[in-house]
Amino acid sequence: MIKVGYFPGCSLHGTAIEYEESLRSVCAEFDIELVEINDWNCCGATAAHSLNHLLSIALPARSLALAESQEFTEILVPCAACYSRLLSAWADITQDSKIRSKVSDIIELPLLGTAKPISILEFISRYILPELKEKIKYPISQKVACYYGCLLVRPPNLVHYDRYEDPLIMEEFVKVLGGKPIEWGFKTECCGAGLSVTRTDLVGKLSGKILEDAVLRGAEAVIVACPMCQSNLDMRRKSINNYLGEKVDIPVMYITQAIGLAMGIEPRKLGTKKHFVSMDKFIGNFRLGQVEHSKAGEV
């Protein structure tokens, strides 16, 4: 059993509960236990860093310090926004000892920077991918669009991922699952993010363009790894459809759900029913594929 530090953030306990369900279900198959950081707190999200730089470091730094006290060297942060905040704070405190001691005083906890936040993509690459292929029972055969959004592989000076404008890492996962990732131009475009509440019309436009391109290129589902992206692309369909002037019914699922489906984990355990846009059609097609697949196997 591998134990990995886990920072769920607000989404994975709330609006993105299916992200956590699917993540835990997949981890269980790989004998990985996700251990939540004791008494973790809000990462500060967009609000803190727009108002006060020190606060924007101190908030995530507290969770980092708590993870250190639990002796974790890595913390899985599945939410892309939380990941960005935690990584940014981690970079600040490990690069500048003055900031580190200042922040340590503020949070009243010892802080060394020994617990490094890792994204869901890094986590999958390191812990899931090596043994994934042999665990695939029902390969996904459909065309899918891998969507990264703004924060998963950026900013480059923080994440150090060299293809930050045109990432290919999720595509690699999807290929292992048997899927056909499409080549498209909206992988890292903005979904509208926090404007979801205040300017839903704008989210309709931005997310609409993303879905339009995915559909145009024949994708049957969009695969994401960020609760914010998922909620905008999935929940704001009314505004999106208004903008596009037509109804798009392409489902938006988490990469962990896709992995779970391909591994043959029951959809119930992956939270596939918790989306606004139904995944039934996709899963139906997928199962149809499986049937054909198994038939082909029998022959």
Partner 1 sequence: MSRIGVFVCHCGENIGATVDCKKVAELSAGLHGVVHSVDYKYMCSDPGQTMIKDAIKEKKLDGIVVAACSPRMHEPTFRKAAQESGLNAFLCEMANLREHCSWVHLKDDSTTEKAFELIHMLVEKVKKNKPLFPIKVPVTKTALVLGGGIAGIQSALDIANSGHQVILVEKDPSIGGHMAQLSETFPTLDCSQCILTPRMVEVAQHPNIKLITYAELEAVEGFVGNFKVKIRQKAKSVDEKICNGCGDCTTKCPIKKIPDEFNAGMGYRAAIYVPFPQAVPNKPVIDRAHCTWYLKGGKCGLCEKVCPTGAINYQQEDEILTFEVGAIVAATGFDIKGTDFFPEYGYGKYKNVINGLQFERLASASGPTLGEMKRPSDGKTPETIVFIACAGSRDSAKGIDYCSKICCMYTAKHAMLYKHKVHSGKAYVFYMDIRAGGKNYEEFVRRAIEEDDVSYVRGRVSKIYERNGKLIVKGVDTLLNSMPMEIEADMVVLATAVVANHDSEQIAQKMHISYDAYHFFAEAHPKLKPVETNTAGIMLAGACQAPKDIPESVSQGSGAASKVSCLFSQDVLTREPLIAEVNRSAPPLYSTCVGCFLCQSVCPYMAIETEEIRMRDGSLIKEVARINPGLCQGCGTCVALCRSKSIDIHGYTHQQIFSEVVALFNRREEYETV
User: Which stretches of the chain bind partner 1, using CB under 8 A?
Assistant: 156, 163-166, 184-186, 189, 213, 216
Helix (H) or strand (E) holding 27: helix 17-29
Is the Cβ of residue 127 or residue 184 nearer to partner 1 in the bound state? 184
Question: How far apart are CB 203 and partner 1 at their closest, in Å?
Answer: 16
Least distance in angstroms from the C-beta of 157 to partner 1:
8
End-to-end alpha-carbon separation of the chain, Å?
Answer: 39
C-alpha closest to that of 90 among 122, 121, 57: 57
Cβ distance to partner 1 smaller for residue 201 or 213? 213
Q: What is the DSSP pairing of strand 116-118 with strand 74-76?
A: parallel
Nearest to 54 by CA among 117, 116, 96, 10: 96
Closer of 42 and 91 to partner 1 (Cβ): 91
Please report how close the Cβ of residue 143 comes to partner 1 at its closest, in angstroms. Answer: 16
Contact 161, 153 (CB under 8 A): yes
Between 250 and 262, whose beta carbon lies closer to partner 1? 250
Choice between 131 and 166, CB closer to partner 1: 166
Nearer to partner 1, 35 or 158 (CB): 158
Closest approach, Cβ 190 to partner 1, in A, equals 11
Minimum CB–partner distance for residue 166 and partner 1 (Å): 5
Is residue 123 within 8 Å of residue 76, measured between CB atoms?
yes
| Residue 167 CB coordination number (10 Å) | 20
Whole-Å CA distances, 179 to 36, 186, 189, 235, 255? 32, 19, 22, 25, 12
| Secondary structure percentages of the chain, helix, strand, coil, to 5 | 55, 10, 35
Q: At residue 65, what are phi and psi to the nearest 5 degrees?
A: -65, -40
CB of 116 to partner 1, least distance (A): 24
Minimum CB distance to partner 1 smaller for 30 or for 164: 164
CB of 12 to partner 1, least distance (A): 30
